[in-house]
């Protein structure tokens, strides 16, 4: 049963610390998304990649957030320095397909981040 995995599942850190969240997309999926979910803002698209290349990161605060795909099996989202307002659940999702741009997204279980 292929699934998107995310680590860590929970992270508590202090303001100013660096936070790294990792995602392993489903094998063979070439599109990877990062989302942030809060009660106030709902589900926000931060960035996404196709074939490891960033296609859009306009939803991501550039001064402190960065997203990369070092290889096809790993996507990372870093926050440096972290702030209390970054507290949220961060989801990674992956999707298959090259020619079809409308494919189903498969979400991971999320990383719950708390910044004190």
Which stretches of the chain bind another protein, using CB under 8 A?
Answer: 4, 31, 42-45, 48, 50, 55-56, 58, 91, 93, 101-102, 104-110
Give the shortest CB-85-to-another protein separation in angstroms: 19
Give the shortest CB-63-to-another protein separation in angstroms: 21
Q: Which is nearer to another protein, 30 or 81 (CB)?
A: 30
Q: Which is nearer to another protein, 18 or 56 (CB)?
A: 56
Give the shortest CB-35-to-another protein separation in angstroms: 8
Q: Which is nearer to another protein, 15 or 43 (CB)?
A: 43
Structural contact between residues 69 and 63, judged by C-beta atoms closer than 8 angstroms: no
Q: How far apart are CA 106 and CA 102, in angstroms?
A: 12
Q: How far apart are CA 96 and CA 12, in angstroms?
A: 32
């Amino acid at each position: 049963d292929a699934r998107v995995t995310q680590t860590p599942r929970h992270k508590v850190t202090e303001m100013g610390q660096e936070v790294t969240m990792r995602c392993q997309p489903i094998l063979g999926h070439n599109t990877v998304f990062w989302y942030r979910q809060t009660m106030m803002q709902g589900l926000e698209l931060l960035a996404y990649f196709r074939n490891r290349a960033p296609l859009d990161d306009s939803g991501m605060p550039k001064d402190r957030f960065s997203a990369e795909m070092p290889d096809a099996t790993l996507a990372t989202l870093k926050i440096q320095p972290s702030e209390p307002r970054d507290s949220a659940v961060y989801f990674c999702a992956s999707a298959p397909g090259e020619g079809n741009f409308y494919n189903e997204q498969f979400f991971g279980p999320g990383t719950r981040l708390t910044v004190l």
